[in-house]
Amino acid sequence: MKHRLLGRRALVTGGASGIGAACCRAMAAEGADVVIVDLPDARDVAEELCAEIEATGRTASFVPGDVRHPGTVAAAAEGVDAVVASAGVSHHPDQADLGDLLGLDPDAWRFVLDVNLTGTFLTCVEAARAMRDAGRPGTIVTVASVAARIPRAGVYSVSKAGVEMFTRSLALQVASRGIRVNGVGPGYIETPMLDGVAQVRGSHEWLSVWRERVPLGRLGTPEDVARVVVFLSSDESSYLTGSVLYPDGGYLLQGGSG
């Protein structure tokens, strides 16, 4: 088995569940030691994941924090050379219509942008500064979404489109320092977040409709995304920066929207 990330220290925000947790497992399987950053109330789940990773011979630690707050990642970024900014939300807890902008409360707008866009900005910039100050190259992977290309998910689409442009902008600024910044834009992935969206939409029948519209005929798994993240974090993608790859089962090929 290849160990494409052997000797590296990976930091994953939103790493206690969903795509983030899959990234933690996949990166550890490739030889990386892992730092999980997630909300304090995710401690139990995160510590279980740490124990699972350490049982494989790698090291893992949990840093509680909110990516919306400056300094959350800075405190954990020392010695990190692979970062995955996967913390995100689909909507405000009180939001009833995910696509509505005219009726969107400003607090709900700010909440989604603060987590998805500002949180990604803070995570990536703080990590890039740590890499720069240490004089070491590194990789940063952001998590956007096919929604960045489809203007039907309201503020979520706006936030993820911002993540894509931020990814390219940061990649250009730090390339000369040997820091590569790329992104993934997942399609419909079986995660707790997608379950939450289905509940807001009214039923899981909504999810069945969109599953049938994926050309590969199934929803994605967190592991499908994690494998792309590992590639972008490894030397196999050493000439790739400022790119966004879409593990979406071909969804964007048909101009799908959701």
| Catalytic sites, residue numbers | 156
**Can you tell me which residue has the tokens 């509505």?**
100
Alpha carbons 15 and 208: distance in angstroms, whole number: 27
Alpha carbons 74 and 51: distance in angstroms, whole number: 24
Alpha carbons 74 and 77: distance in angstroms, whole number: 5
Helix (H) or strand (E) holding 123: helix 119-134
Angle at 189 between CA 243 and CA 221, to 5 degrees: 95
Distance in Å from the first CA to the final CA of the chain: 38
Sign of CA dihedral 169, 64, 17, 155: negative
Residue 95 near residue 106 (C-beta atoms within 8 A): no
Residue 144 near residue 184 (C-beta atoms within 8 A): yes
Alpha carbons 81 and 176: distance in angstroms, whole number: 16
